[in-house]
Structure 1
């Protein structure tokens, strides 16, 4: 059972073990002022400069060097100007909804880890994942794809991870 993150709700609700659901209902999620503040893209615009279309990279006014993607439009008219989006800005909406984090906090976490995975230390400048405890929903750090997948497949179970370590040690000694 988890407690709804909206300040004046206080309702407990059930979630799936792999879920990081923070609110008991969509009404609570959208009525929460903290989340609304995180989701307001109009406060800070992600302005792109130095756009390199072939490398799909640019410099964002908020995020710094970032990858970009073509902005989808409803019309496929060839005369329409091509517009690009900052990928970090798109992912920031997910971070706000799922973990209650804004771009500045995530980038601060990334710099605190010296732009590397919290487990293996591999550079995760472009592709990284926010790791969280599935029981409490608390954010633990930033991981690379392989480490995030490994934790998930082992079910965040310390005993299973220790058993895997012992297995590898036995195999190496043989």
Structure 2
């Protein structure tokens, strides 16, 4: 079937953009898909294998090391940004909270004090 030139990402390609994308999806899945990409991410960023990550999840009973919640998503590998040392696994909320606080205990204590000053307690009459 003939297609207009606009259907191709580059005029010299043999396949249209839709077919090129479909072929890429098949190659991605055949090469291991998201699990292979995640395994590579663990290895490159944290020097962990998928088995080591799974062991950490099991040790923590699938729960965040800070809040104790079970996450419907994968737990994040928390690490010390200065040393690169892996600490534990955190839910996305706790991981982002630490990151936004720049892993600074003084900043986190100040945040707690702020929340405590501005928490409305129930008044009993």
TM-score of the superposed pair, with normalisation by structure 1: 0.50
1:152 aligns with 2:104: no
CA RMSD of aligned residues (A): 2.6
In structure 2, distance between residues paired with 1:82 and 1:167: 48
1:123 aligns with 2:97: no
Runs of 4+ in 1 over 6 A off after TM superposition: none
Q: Which has the higher strand share?
A: 1
Quick one: structure 1 residues 167 and 98, their matched pair in 2 at CA, closer, same or farther if it must change by over 3 Å? same
Structure 1 unaligned spans of 5+: 1-72
Q: CA deviation at 1:128?
A: 2.1
Q: How many residues align?
A: 100
- Which residue in 1 is equivalent to 2:3? none
- Which residue in 1 is equivalent to 2:37? 90
- Which residue in 2 is equivalent to 1:164? 111
TM-score of the superposed pair, with normalisation by structure 2: 0.68
Q: CA deviation at 1:75?
A: 6.4
Radius of gyration: which is bigger? 2
Structure 2 unaligned spans of 5+: 1-18
Q: Which has the higher helix share?
A: 2
